[in-house]
Amino acid sequence: MPQRLHLVFGGELVDPQRTEFANTDDIHIVGMFPDYASAYDAWKAEAQRTVDNAHMRYFIAHIHRLRDEEQEVSPTEELGG
């Protein structure tokens, strides 16, 4: 079965209605997880830990969707190599 990597990260937002971070230097990288279930558990723990701060948000990024080995490389990837 292929690995489906997920990144969990979060931080304080400028406005709770948007997804712009107040300070990108303070983004909390929770970690990289091998499947959605473990990423969800980590996301939920961090979200519950920071529930008292309405500006704090955590996200799950589907890293496995960023790169499909079967597709041709993009022009920017070709520049690097």
The 10s digit of each residue's pLDDT in 18-67 is 999 999 999 999 999 999 999 999 999 999 999 999 999 999 999 988 76
pLDDT at position 79: 47
Both tokens assigned to 3: 């690995």
pLDDT at position 64: 82
Q: Give the other-Cβ count within 10 Å of 55's Cβ.
A: 13
* Superfamily of domain covering 6-62: Uncharacterised protein PF13773, DUF4170 (3.30.70.2400)
Give the global pTM: 0.78
Question: Is residue 5 over pLDDT 50?
Answer: yes
